[in-house]
Structure formats: C-alpha cells, structure tokens
Homo-oligomer: A and B are copies of this chain.
Amino acid sequence: MESPWDELALAFSRTSMFPFFDIAHYLVCVMALKHQPGAAAVAWKNPISSWFTAMLHCFGGGILSCILLAEPPLRFLANHTNILLASSIWYIIFFCPCDLVSQGYSFLPVQLLAAGMKEVTRTWKIVGGVTHANSYYKNGWLVMIAIGWARGAGGAMITNFERLVKGDWKPEGHEWLKMSYPSKVTLLGSVIFTFQHTKHLAISKHNLMFLYTIFIVATKVTMMITQTSTVTFAPFEDTLSRMLFGWQQQFSSCEKKSEAKSSYNGTGSLASKPVDDTSDKAKKKHTKKTE
C-alpha cells in the first residue's frame, strides 16, 4: 500500500471515540431500548429502573468483559463523563416533550448516520478488548477472542439477561440459540484482530481497523437501506458448515436407525420433535425472508 492510504488509515485509527461516536452509540442503544414494548411506561413509573436499563444497554459490553475477567462490573460508573453523557441522552429521549427525538430519529438518514457511527465504536471496542485480554493471558488467543466479542457484542447478552430477570423476555429472541448478525460480525472481527495481535496476520493494525470498519459500516448501512435483517454470511456459513459437517445427510439418515436402537436417543428425539418442528418452521420463514 502506498503512503497516503497508510496515513489515512493511521489517522483514522487514532480518532477519539469520546464525544461524537459515543453519543451516536448511546443514541442507538437508548432508542433500541425505547422501542422495546413497555419501555416508555416503565420510564414513567420507575425512572431509576429505566435509567439502569439504559446504562446496561450503553455499557453492557464493558460490563460483560469485566465479569468475564473478574474485574469490578461497576467500573463503568467511575467514568463520570460518559455516564453523564449517556444519562442526558436517556433523559432527552424518554422525557423530551412531544417525543421530538423519536420523531427526528425516525428519519432514515439520521438512523443511518447514528448506526454507522455506532459500528465504528464496535471496532474500537473489539480492539480494546483483545488488547486488554492479552495483558491477562499472554497468547491466550481464545480468551482474547472471547473478550473482544464480549466487549463488541456482549451488550445484547447483558440486556437479554436483564430482561429475563425482569420477567419480560422471550426465549426465542435469545442471542445464544440464534446468533444475531452483530454477534456474528463481532465474532469474526474479534477472531481477525486476535490473529493480527498474535502476528498470524501480516497486516498492520490500523489498516485492519480501517478495512474492518468500512466493512461493518457498509454492511450495516446496506442492511438498513434494504430492510434485510441478515445478509452476507449465509453463503459463507453454508460453505463452512458443509466443510465441517458435510455428512449431515447420511448422519440424519442413520440417526433414525440409531434412535430406534438406543433408548437414550429415542427419548431425546421424541422430546425434541416439537422443538425441531418449530425450529424448522422458523427456518422456512427465515429462508423465505432472506429470499
């Protein structure tokens, strides 16, 4: 690569997230919270609970990575500036008269800009998580991947868990059983940056950050414009799963016999049938949507 590109990537990788990109991140997170059913009512009935949930939405990734590394989960409360920023955004969004912010946010360009800037913060979080985990476990690349993934996409898990504790949570919307697109792309980025950090990728960090950020911002914007929820990974995943689990057909064919033989599998498959049915339906729907 020639010099100007390098300079651009280097300057980009030195951009500070603090004022503007963090604001975009908090805006997207709190708007996502507000669009949950009943969130506005909760904000009126119990503002403290709503504020706490908003903080979880904004800082969930950091909290999860702190828990996974046995650091104080409350550390994010010590950063008063960001807390003040996120709290004021929560306050404006939920208690602005006539709901002006929501109406302004309902314009697509605003959403595109905010979502794009939020995706930029994702790259910074992944890199920070990978570097931070490396300071704990030298060459513990699995830990680095996990922490990078937790920082980048752990907020969804934390908020799902909080909704579970609160009682208003539906299992089919869970992150583990069905990885959402942000989780997948964050996992991919975490793997890439971990390999770059362990010198298995012959590319400088700032170039990788630049390229990865362009990739996730472009995909995110494309998805928002084309109204598609999951893209760009289906073929990749299919090939990968065919490579890894290529004998699915024979397997499922033998499954029948082995089930008939072993009582364990029998019970298992019997109990699992409703699950499979529902999941198959979900799959069909899913495929229809993606077509």
Contacts and interface: CB of A to CB of B under 8 A. Distances in A.
Given A78-B137, A267-B290, A247 B97 contact: yes
A213 B7 CA distance: 63
Interface stretch (A8-16, A142-150, A199-207): A142-150
Interface residues of A, number: 91
A20 interface: no
| Interface majority SS (helix, strand, loop, mixed), chain A | helix
A75 B48 CA distance: 30
Contact of A78 (B143, B170, B262): B143
Contact of A272 (B38, B142, B271): B38
Interface of A: 34-42, 44-49, 52, 66-75, 77-78, 80, 83, 95-99, 102-103, 106, 136-137, 140, 142-143, 146-147, 161, 164-168, 170-172, 174, 176-179, 187, 241, 244-245, 247-248, 250-251, 254-255, 258, 261-262, 264-265, 267-272, 274-276, 278-279, 283, 285-286, 289-291
